[in-house]
Structure 1
């Protein structure tokens, strides 16, 4: 969602700052900058997985994740989370054409629901999924395969995975999706998306219906 259909204006990094501070990592320190670089490199991955890597201790990772989510929720509640131009319209157009749409995230269910509520998107898609709904987060294929099962899709080749990070692309490839689309509106640039396995690149998710409906024809 964030970076693909949702513009969060750097809220992930701001919330990470709160999480790091809660664990005694001072902003501007060498440790903080090292951790921030990892956060940027792993955009799209399940957040608890990121914190487990950074802190190497389950209790600290969970505490950091709680602080991250609390900070992110505050920022969302302040209206700092907005829809990317054309995102909702793209979902409507796809659904009108008979394409099932699932919105997935690396955030928790609580955070995802906050974002959906802030945007009025509770009923926008056919399905919304977070890592806890499927088993594992990106780059594992669990959310894509869960979406396939819940929407009654016949084959993985009929699935298109769309995202703004290399982890989204890896997820699509690991799941066997027929189309893996990288959008250039978010965290990672063209070289990272191609390295992850993108079959197509778009400037915006607003261009997705034209691509998918043309592919279908």
Structure 2
């Protein structure tokens, strides 16, 4: 049933583009209608809704792009998929209107639970390094695990093993992008549970500043 609904969404997406509607707007309308939380396509796992809560919009873009590559400028499509640049410069309000409140709010959950959470460790790591340099400890540079232990009270490997054990996943030396985003969202929830509110707010604020900086450098839509 969901596969048939998916195919209907794809057909409407292509129809809108062929009728002259801007392809990015048409994609966002398709996002609002997308019926699947995840699927496997040619051996590749597409997880769209992490933990049933966080909408991985870039992953849905990847999936829909497969269906419209013959209708859209390759350069424009690459700009959206790689750099997050819309060909029509959509505002947050326009995205919300096209996606619908529920899907847009789930996308915000993805931003804070995955994209911002990735920046939390980086922001803390930068802070630790600055403090060590200020103290003259230039020979003892901080490594990522110093930041993981500060934020989550364990090393990255310890955390990853705990995540995989909890989810019944096999231990591997590598991690693909889909599982990495699931892991990051798991870390986000762990931080909310185990840290006091003031520290959560402080770490999140620093991460937001860093994410905003990277967004501006890449020309992405500001948060």
Which TM bucket (shorter chain)?
A: under 0.3
Q: Whose helix proportion is higher, 1 or 2?
A: 2
The structure whose residues are more often strand, as a share, is 1
The TM-score normalised by the length of structure 2 is 0.26
